[in-house]
Amino acid sequence: MGTIMKSEDLEQRWQQQSQEAFHTLAQWQKEHPKATLAEIEAAIDAQLDQVRARIIEEMAQAERETTQQGPRSCPQCGTRMHQRGARTRTFQTRGQQEVNVSRDYQSCPACGYSFFPPR
């Protein structure tokens, strides 16, 4: 996501993703008319976990793009940190879905401390 997305654009994407998940569930239901409650729950959870992960990823990325901060002071020695370019980290949600988040990686030229800022 190289461009800043407006909240209206994000909301529209989330609605589309939700509709796709509901469509997939309707198809699943047709294919599994005798599914148990546990199977229904698992199918719903799988779809909602995917939608949830995409929303988390897009919110985190949109926040980064609208609140980019320059280099910070090193928490170890106080020297001004240097930005070392954007890095992408992969996290796993509670629903076992991967979420990719890009941040500006920073390192300290004095003591070598480096970090991937949460915001």
Tell me the per-residue pLDDT of 72-116, one tens digit each, with 9 for 90 and over: 888 889 999 888 888 888 888 888 889 988 877 888 999 989 877
Structurally, the chain folds into a number of domains equal to: 1
| Whole-structure pTM value | 0.64
Instruction: Look up residue 113 and give its two tokens.
Output: 């401390």
Q: 85 lies in a domain?
A: yes
pLDDT score at 9: 85
Task: State the average pLDDT over residues 46-75.
Answer: 79
Q: 106 lies in a domain?
A: yes
Q: Are 6 and 58 in contact (CB under 8 A)?
A: no
Q: 1 lies in a domain?
A: no
Alpha-helical runs (H) found in the chain: 7-31, 37-66
Q: 40 lies in a domain?
A: yes
The answer for residues whose C-beta is within 8 angstroms of residue 116's C-beta and 6 or more apart is 87, 89, 103, 105
Q: Which domain, by its residues, includes 102?
A: 9-115
